[in-house]
Structure 1
């Protein structure tokens, strides 16, 4: 695979990452935390990372961001590293539908972009994506049609997406640039954007 061209941002930018782990009480450096550290070091994109192992933990993490973090307006991307199938996420042995997640985040994600890593397939109809954005207030939802534990989007195209977005917040233009510069990878992982 050829080297990815990853732009470096020159403005202070933030990503809020929520990752589902088997047990939050077991302190571990996950693949995602290592990648986020590398992105901070090399691309100047700061992130806040929260691990959760229950649906309540996921809701609490979002509430902490919204109500306790005075820089919430600076976080334009909410990066969700959640396993699951199709339009469901899997947390602690239980599946939750995209509609349940929308209701959990009701009115809390005004103007944000939710980006799902390829730990789960994101395959929304126009009606489902519109419902999700209407309920949550999100500006856009993105993810992948290809789920893989071996070829993780965090190592590859996610970091390009984050950098390009913070260069130019026109989400449609960002996706067009991604496909122009990294067509094979975007196609292989089946990058999807709903806005």
Structure 2
């Protein structure tokens, strides 16, 4: 990928929607690269297939997951953590494609967080009815770096709250190509995804795929 691609993306003018200080939705930011992103996801999941992980409490998650990058987020009965090795294959996670890294870096810069260098990308697959309960992303050593979250496929309702679970939660509709970035004062905001409604997306069918970029180490 060349800088010219992202220069063109910037001049196309993604709409910005402020969620809170340090948090923004970049509407349609990833859409110009949808074909390459979906192809890259296919290559990654051929090496490290989606799986529904188990929480420390023994509950199987409704969202299927995999990873790419030097570290991958995993959960099992021993806890939440980042691991360089896929526990199912015993091999390192697939490398992060340059397209992924550059898109995440550019989105972070556009949202006010320059020099973002992600080392982990969690890939979530939501099928109708799947959800993500309110939580904080706090397993990373470097919470000074933002979170960059790319939505592909079916629309979803993103829940975004405050620094306490009891804080009021706002609801935002995310569609194919939207990117949410949050960091700074919003870095530890509680967030989640409401149960995914059924539908059919022209490129991904009856699913939503979410790429979450983090600086884990």
* Structure-1-length-normalised TM-score: 0.31
Greater length-normalized contact order (CA 8 Å, ≥ 6 residues apart): 2
Q: Larger % of strand: which? A: 2
Q: Return the structure number with greater helix share.
A: 1
TM-score scaled by length of structure 2: 0.29
